Each structure stands twice: as structure tokens, then as C-alpha cells.
Structure 1
Amino acid sequence: MTFSILGRCGRTGRLGLAISSSSPAVAARCAFVRAGVGVAASQNVTDPRLGPALLDALASGVSAEGAVGAVAAQADHAEHRQLAVVDASGASAAWSGTRALGTHGTRTGEGWAAAGNMLAGEDVLDAVGAAFMDNSDDELEARLLRAMAAAVAAGGEEGPLHSAGLLVAGAVPWPETSLRVDWTDDDPIAALAALWDVWAPQRDDYVTRALDPEAAPAYGVPGDPINNDEEAVR
């Protein structure tokens, strides 16, 4: 009931993923990123403990393939799980248990990995990878969202989508982008793209506010009086 695309930006080294599902709040349970280490997805009858386990393995020096293999070998009920990971160098790996739901599969390439279950067809994953690799100089978030839109155009999953998430880390220890649509009866991927349009021009300012508030623009939203107040708290 879920498909995801994980990726690394070769230009900036940023790491992130986008994910969507017919289940609620998919990103809260399935999406994990650690700046300078890697990005991981744990999906299909999800065990949220496995995402941090994958990142811990990468942080200890294990390869992407080794991390997926080790976590899958040690996890309880591993046959129900899907795992995917991209490390800080762009190496990728993915794995599906024998009891993953419906039409399921994984794809990997240099700098990206995709996984899905209850898919309309495995060609959905091929469409995800191709779209992610197109226009590779674009912002990572935009590439991930474009890949998700391509998945939907290729048939997506068998059921209606209700939730989606976008999670990206860069140079600071926390995610620079963490956007979620936890439930909607409309198109969660389109709603997520709309959130990105709001967040994109402010993303870097929020990093600056954390690191050096005096150098940051005044906060607020366009049209808010605080933006016109010379004494605004920065």
C-alpha cells in the first residue's frame, strides 16, 4: 500500500525521500534521514525500528547493501518488510520480504532507490527511477516530487492514495525539509507539492535563523505586518 523514492543530490550531497500510501501518516512511520549518513525507508507492514537500524549501520561504516542485508537478517518478521537505503556517497540498496503485499518490488541506481507494494505494476518503479534521474541539477525535493508524480501517472498503487511525505537533510543535523500530508481524500502528492511551493523559498532562511538569528530575515508570511516592522524579532 506504499511506494517511495529515496535519493541523493550529486551536486549538493543532500539526502532525502518522498513516500505515499493509502494508509494514514505514512511518512511518520516509514521515512528516516540522517544528515551526512544516509536516507532509509522501512515499509510494508511497517516496523519503524528498522529505519534507524539501517542508518545506524551506515553510520558504523557498513555499506548500503550490507546495511540492508544485516537489518533484514536480524529483524523479527522480516518476510513482511520492505527496506531501502541510499548512503552519503550515493550507494543504494533495497530488499523485499517474501510476504510483501500484492505486486511489489524494488529498483536501485546510482544515487537512488525505489520500493513499492500493492502496485498497479512493477513498471511504476521504473517510472519513478527515470523521473528522478531527469533534470538532475534541480533541487532534490523537486526531483523526488516529480518522481512521485511519475509513479501516479504510471498507475501508482492499487488503492486510492491518502497520505504522503517529503523528508530531506543537508548540512545541518536536522531535516531541512520535513513536509507531510497525513490524510486527504484528494491527491496527497499534489497537496505535498503545494506545501513544497510554500516551503521552498523559506527553507534556507529557517536554517539561518537556527545558526545565526542576527543574519536571518524577519520571520512571518507574505502580507503579515511583522515583515514590515523594523523592530521585528528576527
Structure 2
Amino acid sequence: MKTLCVAIVVLSLTSVCQPASLACEKLLNPEDKSPDLSGRWHVIASSADKCWFPLLVNALFWPSIAMDITAKDTPNIYDANIKFDSHGYCTNKSTPLRYENNTIVLDVDSDNLVTGKSFFLVQTGCPDCLVLKGDHDLKTLTLFSRRKNVTADELKEFEAQAECLGWMKPQMLKSDHDYETCKSFKDITDSDDQAVMSMMDDRVKTMQDDLVKCDPNLSLLPLLLFFLKIKHQLLG
């Protein structure tokens, strides 16, 4: 009888754990199709192995981010124009992009050799989405779509991918994506600067509970100083 009970327990655990493991393996498999990268891609949501990073990005900047990709004459080489909107102020940066073997590299030199960080494409059931995984000092998972918004099921799949990695629930970015009528960070005035900083400070206060849940032992001071430095660089 004891042997039978042990066998039942083992079989029960196997039936519970194996499907979850297989589901995660499938969700995190490399993308098996080469996407057409040209065009605009909107950043929908992101997660990271350091839970505080996406929380503070969203709290301070509340950004909309998009990437316009244009194919170059050289095979596998593109130009990526990254657009960033924070509190009604915009900036953009162009960088060469290389795609090869299921890998996107932002920034290559004049000889098209890799100089930047690599991101790997992960499978997604969303027909017009990209899921990019970065395995750097800060590990990230980012959902891009040609649309400004995705469906609830598509977002749920992305959340499951982050959960399989043991990371926090993804943070949704702002979906306005208005890069035409926003003001430039270069033209910001002192009064605008103060207004934006006030909005950023208010948003950080509203997310303090989430930051504590993220890591009760987290020291916010060095993180806030780091992001305040970035904030001042953006605001000039």
C-alpha cells in the first residue's frame, strides 16, 4: 500500500509539473520565422529580471516608444529610428540595426560589425508582434507590435512568457504614440522643466507600494538618483 501511495504521488506531481514545463519551453522557444522588420513597431509592454527597472521607467517617464525600421542596401542591415515621448516631450535617435540568425543587434559599425547589444526573437502567437529577449546585465523581455494596442489574449501570452522566466508582470507603456505634435526636449523651458519634474515625482509616489512589493529590501535612494540623472539629461 505504501508503495502504491508513493507511485500515485509521483504520477500526480509529474502530471502537474510536466505540462507547465513544456508550456514554458514552447513559450520561450526562438522564433522560427524571419519577420519583415521594415516599418513602425510600437513598444507595448516590458518586463525585466530586476523588477524595479520597468516600474521606475514607467513611473518617472510614462513613455511611449516606437521604432521605425528601414532596410538598407546591404543585406540584413537596417536603420532604426527610435522615438521616445515622455509627458508630451519627444526625442529620437537613429542607430544601425543588424538582423541575422534570429538575432537583432542595435548598433553596428561602418563595416557592419556588431558593436551593440543583441536581442533574441522569441516565439509569439501574435501575428504582427515581436518579442525580444535581452540577456545582458539587465535581462529584459519586450513586446513590440505594429499596432498601438494588442488584444487581451496576446498580452496574456506575453505575461505568461515573463512568468515562465520568473520575472514580474510586464509594465504597459503609454499607447498614445504622438510623435508629431509633441514638443522637443531641446525646446523645453524652465517652467516646463518644473512641471514635468513635478509630474514625474507624483508618479513615483503613486508607485512606491509596487516598488516595495517588488523588493522589500530595495533601497530607493540610489535608484532614484540614477533615474533623476537620466531625467535631467533628457530635459537638458
Q: Normalization by structure 1: what TM-score? A: 0.31
Normalising to structure 2: TM-score of the pair? 0.30
